[in-house]
Structure 1
Amino acid sequence: MRKLLVGMLACWLNAGSWASPPIEVTILCDAGYPPYSYAEGYQAKGLYHDILRAAFARMPEYRVQIRPLPWARALRELSKGRAFALYPPYYRPSERPWMDYSRPILQEKLVVFLRAEVARKLSDEQFPQAYGGLRIGQNRGFINVLNRDYQRMLTSGELHQVYVKDNRTSLAMLYRGRLDAYINDRRAVLWELEQMHSDGVFGQYGLDWLIEGPWLSGETGHLGYTRTNPQAYPYKQDFRKRLDAVLTDLEREGVIYRIVTGYDAIYPIQLQAGGI
């Protein structure tokens, strides 16, 4: 019996010595999109970070490092095949044919925010027809508004789109009257407004100068994978399959919901609502 136990232990130790080490994987993330994805120093933070970290903890075959970069640069790295994956792109297969996508991770709500004085002067027409002649801010590297009338008005010069590097810069320009409107995810805008309000950026004016306009659409954020340079990432299909399965489990178990509601409790700001 003793010999049998010794033999079994030897086999177990030998099998352990042959076990493959975890595959090292580096994933890029947006360094400037709080609360979804941002950096503190060189450390990745945010909602997507917390959800994906919960997922990667269930994928012991991989050891994942997350590296924050400016969004436009991160997209460029992925398009050239110099990076394996990136979060959190929206699903844009025609604009980014070099990208594959995970299953949806989160649903975001795209909303128009306007200066109150601008909102009061708008006609009764709906978006985007009522916005002719306005300067509308969007973050650089984001393809947000796919509305055909909006794109037609941009092409004809009826709308003026201004690309800015991040939420804070865009909202500061909106506050100072250098933009008339700003389009981005509602949660991201409210989070940044909370930070700026706490920092005293708006002084005695509070948030009376800002109106929440129409909700345009829902967008889903994903982990995007490069299609370029596939030989550098032979584990891609296995990683995608495992991550999608784990994300499905996390959603079913309510883990994603609990992470999201924890962030929502941070910024209780409510804005005036505009009807146009």
Structure 2
Amino acid sequence: MRTIRYLAGVVVAVIIEFTSFASIAEQKVIILGDDGYAPFSFIKNNQPQGIYVNILKEVFKKLEGYDVSFQMLPWKRSLNEIKRGTGFAVFPPYHFPKERPYMAPYSEPILLEQVIAICHNKVLKNERKKWPEDYYGLKIGTNDGFLSPGPDFFSAAEQGRLSLIEATNTRSGLRMLLARRTDCYVNAEMSIRWGLLRLRQAGLYDPGLDQLRFGAVIDAEWGYIGYTNTDNGAFPFKDDFIKKVNKIIRAMKADGSINQIIEDFFEY
């Protein structure tokens, strides 16, 4: 009987030790995401959705030693968390080291996005290829905290050469454009196309009546995971995490996994 009790005690001790080891080995990590940047990252039915979400889910499946979850927030709030050092990382910022000195390093680039202006047909009656000079005098919408229109654009807005109207997300930005509160709207081309498709399905956009078309191609930007550099050592696992994640992203780009995830997303 003593032998049985002893063995039972050993088994319990081993289970406790194994559970303790597993909890130590699996570092819990929260990654912040933009909740209003469809089709790249957004919330639907209280769940993270989007192309970047699907890519990063696959990345984190392959990541050993970490239990990663998403917290989707408005973009500006996510950036504030990174700036304060209370947020570990955020997706999908573009690479703006001067404008966001609190964010470094950036991950391996994940996805190339083309940034473009979409305007009412009448606005583009005269050719407007030069950005932002050809758009002076217009009301231009873009998402709050979205820096891709460029420093010349924001400088022109401060000088009153054009009017900047910020939206909380792509849907609201396009709704303002359709309501003629803005003349043009600037965002990633894929995000604009996705947003217009959803508005059309909801009966809120009629291509024949609204007559929108694309104007200036402003830039092409890679999307990344951006990490805080103001945490004062609060995330001691950061270097190891970044190294492992970058290796996985590189492998997924090389073997075509990321392109396949994008194709699967639009088929779905």
Equivalent AA in structure 1 for residue 150 of structure 2: L
Contact 2:129 2:215 in 1 (8 A): no
Residue 116 (structure 1) shift: 0.9
Does the 8 Å contact 1:42/1:67 carry over to 2?
no
2:110 pairs with one of 105, 110, 129: 105
Q: 2:39 aligns with which of 35, 38, 52?
A: 35
- Does the 8 Å contact 1:37/1:49 carry over to 2? yes
Q: Which residue of 1 aligns with 2:222?
A: 220
Partners of 1:244 and 1:124 lie apart in 2 by: 39
Partners of 1:226 and 1:234 in 2: how far apart? Answer: 12
Three-state SS of the structure 1 residue aligned to 2:214 is strand
In 2 relative to 1, CA 162–64 (structure 1 residues): closer, same or farther, beyond 3 Å?
A: same
- Distance change (3 Å), C-alpha of 1:151 and 1:31: closer
Query: Take 2:144 and 2:254, find their aligned partners in 1: how far apart are those partners?
Result: 34
For the 8 Å contact 1:133–1:158, the answer to whether it is kept is: yes
Whole-angstrom CA distance in 2 between matches of 1:131 and 1:232: 45
Name the residue aligned to 2:262.
260
Work out whether residues 128 and 135 of structure 2, in 8 Å CA contact, stay in contact via their aligned partners in 1: no
Q: Which residue of 1 aligns with 2:119?
A: 114
Cα pair distance change 1:152/1:74, threshold 3 Å:
closer
Per the TM alignment, residue 189 of structure 1 is displaced from its structure 2 partner at its CA by: 0.5
Structure 2 counterparts to residues 202-221 of structure 1, below 5 A: 202=205, 206=208, 208-221=210-223
CA contact (8 A) 1:28 1:86 kept: yes
8 A Cα contact 1:43 1:67, kept in partner: no
Instruction: Give the whole-Å Cα distance in 2 for the aligned partners of 1:237 and 1:207.
Output: 53
Structure 1 Cα separation of the partners of residues 77 and 45 of structure 2: 17
Distance in 2 between residues matched to 1:213 and 1:155, nearest whole Å: 22
Cα offset for 1:123?
5.1
Work out whether residues 197 and 206 of structure 1, in 8 Å CA contact, stay in contact via their aligned partners in 2.
Answer: no
- Choose which of 177, 180, 203 in structure 2 pairs with 1:177: 180
Deviation at residue 92 of structure 1 after TM alignment: 0.7
Aligned equivalents of 1:244, 1:232: Cα separation in 2: 21
Whole-Å separation in 1 of the counterparts to 2:53 and 2:132: 34
- Structure 2 CA distance, aligned partners of 1:124 and 1:222? 30
Q: What CA RMSD, in Å, does the superposition of the two structures yield over aligned residues?
A: 2.1
Gapped runs of 5+ residues in structure 1?
Answer: 1-9, 267-276
Q: Does 1:65 align with 2:69?
A: yes
Alpha carbons of structure 1 residues 207 and 233: separation in structure 2 relative to 1, 3 Å: farther
2:162 paired with 1:159: yes
Identity within the alignment, %: 33
What residue ranges of structure 2 are gaps of 5+ in the alignment?
A: 1-10
Find the residue that maps to 1:232 and give its secondary structure: coil
Q: Does the aligned pair in 2 maintain the 1:42–1:68 contact within 8 Å?
A: no
Amino acid at match of 2:189: R
Output the CA distance in 2 between the equivalents of 1:230 and 1:250.
32
Per the TM alignment, residue 207 of structure 1 is displaced from its structure 2 partner at its CA by 6.2
* Equivalent position amino acid for 1:93 in 2: P
Which residue does the alignment assign to 2:150? 146
Cα-to-partner distance string for 1:91-142 (whole Å, 9 max, x where unaligned): 111111111111111100001100112211x356633222120000010011
**What whole-Å deviation, never above 9, does each CA across 1:188-226 have from its counterpart, x for those lacking one?**
0000100000000125x5465101112111011110111
2:248 counterpart letter in structure 1: V
